[in-house]
Structure 1
Amino acid sequence: RPGQVLERCITPNAYAISFDDGPGQLTDELLDFLDDQNIKVTFFMNGDSWNCIYQSQRLLRRAYASQHQIASHPWSHQDLESLSDNDIRKEMHRIEDAFRQILGVVPRYMRPPYGDHGQRVRRVLEEMGYIIVLWDVD
């Protein structure tokens, strides 16, 4: 449900693998490996970490077509705690627009950069309908 914060895999004896900050220069090779091993992961992708996401549309489409979960990392990887509520919304709307244009869908799961997600940030993301996903092993 929106506003929920997931901090670890909730299925007993299972784990979830995720990658942040893509698509990047090794995404093609990673997808080759994952597809070869029939491993499904979650990609938390942002707009301009390594390359502009619009210049990496093929990689994003490939990951999605391979049935990996695509989730959001805000557009510019800024610490959301340092932004105003309005700027958080702008960051999220910008990456939403990219996903909508490239994939035709908008993810409901997101990971805040650096894991920073105080009460104010959680409230804004909840209002936007997001479920926050963190990690427990780096």
Structure 2
Amino acid sequence: MISDTRLIKDIQPANGHVMIANGDKMPIKGIGKLKLFEKESKAFYMPEFTSNLLSVKRCTTDLQCNVIFSPNDVKFQDIESSKMIGKGVTKGDLYLLEDLASIPSHCCSFTFASDSVFSLNKNALWHARL
């Protein structure tokens, strides 16, 4: 669920709603392509949503990867090659992820919630793409 159009491309109109944790229904305005770890996934475009969230289930399916969570880190591993395509460390309740294809010192922050979703640090991700 992405509210920032700079993070997704090729948005195709779509209708529907997503029920969020508090029971509210948020409208879906489209579906677009999201690039993560140099691979492509899809995300709902939801301009009224206040965060940018991605389902780990969607990520594992679209990116064909395993996600390994531990108390101190998280790893994204390509299923076919077993190569690590992404990683991160914990900071409080957050996982700070690093895209291995980008500049090594650059990190993007993601918040993982109880049902495996995360919030993108928009400015950091956009900077990494530039």
| Shorter-chain TM-score above 0.5 | no
Normalised by the length of structure 2, the TM-score is 0.28
TM-score with structure 1 setting the length: 0.27
Q: Going by fraction, where is strand more abundant, 1 or 2? A: 2
Report which structure shows greater RCO (CA 8 Å, sep ≥6). Answer: 1
